[in-house]
A and B are shown apart, each in its own frame.
Chain A
Amino acid sequence: MADSITPNAISTIIQNPSPDSSSEAPQIVVQVVDLKPVGNRFTFNASDGKMKLKATLPSNMSSEINLGDLQNLGLIRILDYTLNVLPKTQEKCLIVTKCEVVTTALKIEIGNDVKEEAGIVLKPKNEVGIILKPKQEVVAKSANEILHEQHGNTAPAARMAMTRRVNPLVSLNPYQGNWTIKVRVTNKGTLRSYKNARGEGHVFNVELTDEDGTQIQATMFKEAAEKFYNKFEMGKVYYISRGLLKVANKQFKTVQNDYEMTLNENSEVEEVKGEVTSIPEAKFTFVPIDQLGPYVNGRELVDVIGVVQSVSQSLSIRRKSNNDTIPKRDITIADESKKTVVVSLWNDLATGVGQELLDIADSFPVVAIKSLKVGDFQGVSLSALSRSIVLVNPELPESKKLSSWYNSEGRGASMDSVGSGVISASPKNGLRSMYSDRVSLSHITSNPSLGENKPEYFSVKACVSYIKPDQAMWYRACKQCNKKVTEAIGSGYWCEGCQKNDEECSLRYIMVMKVSDPTGETWLSVFNEQAEKIIGCTADELDKMKQDGDGSSYQLKLKEATWVTHLFRVTVKQNEYMSEKRQRIAVGAQSSIDFVAESRFLLEEISKL
């Protein structure tokens, strides 16, 4: 009888919240259920078959539990205790200060409906001379019970196969430490060193994805960083446990998860051999190209998928900070929204997959890219980061859809760049519109120090008042990369960027136009895309008109472009020219006037007067 639960143990304890000495303590035996570790102690529910009480075990019991001498569903004799009331919830909590193991573990939880004789089956291992089974099995044993509660009857075969209980990433939280996850490393950062007030060390992080596609970022510092940096390999699957969860710092959030994980020296990382195909390679959430607007200049990274329309040659860009030269390649992609966007690939992406794309560009491959930064160059632009992943012709349903769209209608369709002529209702979403920062020309010209340190952006409504007919209106450009070409010895043109000769080149506008508005006038630098729209034909076509006969059609074309009012998005910069500082105003975007929208804008301005 000493080996069974004391009847009404819980109510006895509740009636006796703080026994004076051990002589008075009735030496209650309770069953330990829902045993779980919290830090290096254990909490459980003390059960007497009728009632349960939240309880904690003294830390000296932890080693016995870890050794397997006491397990979930075991019996303990409470020698000394205190009953507390939790201030927040008014719940009663039993603090066991002294106890001893009666039975390591019973097969089942003792409940009301179980007869005392039948229910209790004592396993023959309640003495110290227990064979220490491997810890794995111990975990599995209590896991079985818990699983049984959670999932009902698990098929025995499945239980056998499962050597580990795995939690879905989505269930992780800072308040439950006993988990194991099975995840693939979908991104591995570089090992960086840092120095702060607390010292210095190394840090790196990985992005983990599990079976359901949930992602979380895990960071490791100092010793943990060194320990796991070589262990984690991109693309491989691992079991991870004993990590710390905390609420993610939204400023640095790169994956969609409210929490982020830190792994320390006590964390466990084990590579999974075998069953790994259930975990996806990389999870994409694609943004259609025509919906990239709101992300411009924001912190959120985007994924895109599109058909490659063109791939530039590899260019060398000099980094301003340390004069390093970095390879860069621009690719233009299009999708079903009938818009195109330029993606800049850098370093390894430029030379590796970028070259691959150039080679197969004629087959109009589909490319899926993850984690791109959205910039505002030419309205909307995408730039790869070191963490970006580029997949060529991926095995994704979106990829097949794109291919078939392109083959049926996309190929022949004329598509606009998503950034050109952008007009949006709200300047708040980072997309610079023709209605935000609207100024008069005099506002710019009367202030020579505008754009001194860094370029300033405005929108203006101005009328083209003069296009000089005998200015150099264009430059000879490489047909592939649009860079300036020089006349080659012999025939043709030489492109420094592409490092090759071409018989033909294209002409691209680069010119100045005089514009006026009610407050004044100034010269604007205009580039190819906008000049084409203002003049109404390409530079090649205009040149032809110039050469033709007496050039009167050329003069006429320029005349027709004059005295037309446009909306311009301009950049104001300072240039040094012959040791003199000059203000230079360049056109970034142009659009013709939408009278309804413009009227509304004016009415708003009037109401502010």
Chain B
Amino acid sequence: MDTSKPAVFVNAELLPMYVGRKVRAVVQVLQSDGVAIKGKSTDDRSLIIKGSLPPFPLSNFVEVIGIVDTNNSIQAEIVTDFGEKFDASTYNRLCQLANGEYKSLFL
């Protein structure tokens, strides 16, 4: 597990850039069984969150911190319930800025 570097703010589009790296992403819960969570990323794509996790309420937002498994899945280590009210578009902008112009501020 790569713990030396901080978790990168990602959305579905940026995820493939960090395979094997620790990332954090916020998804809206679409499906939750004990094995995996299917979530909608902040840029409206589907992501799989793996790991044995407690079920989260549907359509709540959760933050996932973990290692990127494949282009569209994360092996979760920490999952936090962010509740029902969350502005996805602002978070999405944050991901774009944090990986673009202002990357140096974050990594």
Contact = CB atoms under 8 A, between A and B. Distances in A.
B90 A599 contact: yes
Contacts of A600: 90
B93 A603 contact: yes
B97 A599 contact: no
Contacts of B97: 606
Contacts of B93: 603
B93 to A, nearest CB: 5
Contacts of B2: none
A506 B106 CA distance: 53
A595 B90 CA distance: 10
Interface in A566-606: 595-596, 599-600, 603, 606
Contacts, number: 9
A603 B87 CA distance: 13
A425 to B, nearest CB: 16
Contacts of A596: 87, 90
Contacts of B87: 595-596, 599
A599 B97 CA distance: 13
Contacts of A595: 87
B106 to A, nearest CB: 14
Q: DSSP class of A's interface residues: helix, strand, loop or mixed? A: helix
B21 to A, nearest CB: 25
A122 B51 CA distance: 110
Interface string B52-94: 0000000000000000000000000000000000010010010
A595 B91 CA distance: 12
Contacts of A599: 87, 90
Nearest to B102: A606
Interface residues of B, number: 4
Interface in B14-56: none
A518 to B, nearest CB: 15
Nearest to A600: B90
Contacts of A606: 97
A607 to B, nearest CB: 9
A421 to B, nearest CB: 20
A595 B93 CA distance: 15
A595 B86 CA distance: 10
Nearest to B93: A603
Interface string B94-106: 0001000000000
A603 B97 CA distance: 10
A597 to B, nearest CB: 10
Nearest to A602: B90
A297 to B, nearest CB: 32
A596 B90 CA distance: 8
Nearest to A609: B101
Contacts of A603: 90, 93
A513 B46 CA distance: 49
A46 B90 CA distance: 75
A596 B85 CA distance: 10
A600 B87 CA distance: 10
A95 B63 CA distance: 89
Nearest to B97: A606
Nearest to A598: B90
Contacts of B90: 596, 599-600, 603
A596 B93 CA distance: 12
A599 B93 CA distance: 10
Interface string A282-298: 00000000000000000
A605 to B, nearest CB: 12
Nearest to A603: B93
B90 to A, nearest CB: 4
A301 B59 CA distance: 48
A519 to B, nearest CB: 19
B96 to A, nearest CB: 10
Nearest to B91: A599
A603 B90 CA distance: 8
A141 B78 CA distance: 96
A452 to B, nearest CB: 38
A599 B91 CA distance: 9
A482 B87 CA distance: 43
A596 B87 CA distance: 7
A253 B97 CA distance: 50
B102 to A, nearest CB: 8
A606 B93 CA distance: 11
A599 B86 CA distance: 12
A183 B74 CA distance: 79
A595 B97 CA distance: 18
A277 B93 CA distance: 65
B16 to A, nearest CB: 25
Nearest to A596: B87
A376 B87 CA distance: 32
A603 B93 CA distance: 8
A606 B97 CA distance: 9
A599 B88 CA distance: 11
A606 B102 CA distance: 10
A328 B87 CA distance: 48
A336 to B, nearest CB: 30
B46 to A, nearest CB: 25
Nearest to B96: A603
A203 B90 CA distance: 59
B64 to A, nearest CB: 21
A558 B66 CA distance: 42
A399 B87 CA distance: 43
Nearest to A606: B97
A342 to B, nearest CB: 35
B94 to A, nearest CB: 8
A599 B94 CA distance: 10
B103 to A, nearest CB: 14
A402 to B, nearest CB: 36
Nearest to A599: B90
Nearest to B90: A599
A606 B90 CA distance: 13
B53 to A, nearest CB: 27
A596 B97 CA distance: 17
Interface of B: 87, 90, 93, 97
9 contacts: A595-B87, A596-B87, A596-B90, A599-B87, A599-B90, A600-B90, A603-B90, A603-B93, A606-B97
The 8 closest A-B pairs by CB, nearest first: A599-B90, A596-B87, A603-B93, A596-B90, A599-B87, A600-B90, A606-B97, A603-B90
Given A596-B90, A603-B93, A606-B97, 6 more contacts: A595-B87, A596-B87, A599-B87, A599-B90, A600-B90, A603-B90
